[in-house]
Structure 1
Amino acid sequence: MSAPKDPEKCKLWKENLSKSKTGEKNPFYGKHLSQKHKDKISKANSGEKHPMFGKKNPIVAELNKQRIGEKHPMFGKEGVGKGKKRPDLAKRMRGEKHPAYIDGRSYEPYSSEFMKIRRNGEIRRRDGYRCQKCGRFEIEISRKLSIHHIDYNKKNCLPENLISLCYKCNAEVNTNRKKWIKYFQKKMRKIEKGYNQSQLCLARL
């Protein structure tokens, strides 16, 4: 028997159907599917074989609308990416007004000297293939560490101005630059001290 079209009758029909299949009345009561059987059912309903593949669940979609709607903090407000506010924001954040601006250095291209240093991996090797901010090793993040210019001057490729960072930390240090310049300069003094001591030990061997 199919569900009645009338909403009230449909609701009652669903309740009665649920009661008729609850507890000992359920044909699967007291039975358990084997893991092999479960895997078989899962495989038969995976991907394109699933009846809802590529479709939106209308019930879930409606519930999400109701859940977000007026409760959303931006409900009825115009976002910064829309209307007249967007051009004004762009003007306020342009050039010297941008918090990450330092003498236009962010627009400087990388030099051939830096590209050579990055390729030969000497900075990453010196830093033990470890991010000098969060401490994660290169092998942990499954990608090469970035080489960061401490003073944000891309033309300054002196070893003491270059430091290894993971991609996440490299993005984070693009704000509050004065703080990070001071932080990494202090860090470099420790690195250089440790590196010089290790070189001295090797020379004695």
Structure 2
Amino acid sequence: MNIFRIFRNRKMNPKELCLQLGKRLYHTHSVEFQDYYEEYLEDLGEFKDMYFDVYEEFDFKRLGPFEVLYAYGAHYEHAYYIDWRGEENEKEVESYVEQTFPKVKFSWSATETLRSEYSASNLRDGNFIIKLFKAVDEDIRRQGYALLFFTIDADGYCFIPTDIDTYELAIGGLKRKFNGAADIKG
């Protein structure tokens, strides 16, 4: 039985859910994430002192489980951030997905079609990036993956590609904290 079915059948508290999500989202750094997150659970004051460099770059009004999950990925660059205008370099979204799952061979048909329809002058207008996220999501869903977006107050998009089970666990467990590509608006 997979982890999604186990957690779907019982209600998890946000702290437990964020720990499980972090271990799955940051799968190549799951031990480091678990150590980091357990420090948060043990002593918030000491955690804030120990990881001050992580949190000084974010303007959190409170430091809850979701903020700890997000800050870990953003600070240590295990989640990807793109400003509202779009990519700095062509194909950086696809490259990030491929780096996250190096053993998977993705077909970029929807993405390549979209890119062929846009001129270079329109790639940083803020609209193209939203269409690009949707095309990338369409392409990777064919192989059991999806783009998961952190709902943050920022002038950009922070996302991580993940397997469908983890995506559904995040969306189902913390709906207001995560979005899928279909929910992204300009």
TM-score (norm 1): 0.21
* Structure number with higher relative contact order (C-alpha < 8 Å, ≥ 6 residues apart): 2
Which structure has the bigger radius of gyration? Answer: 1
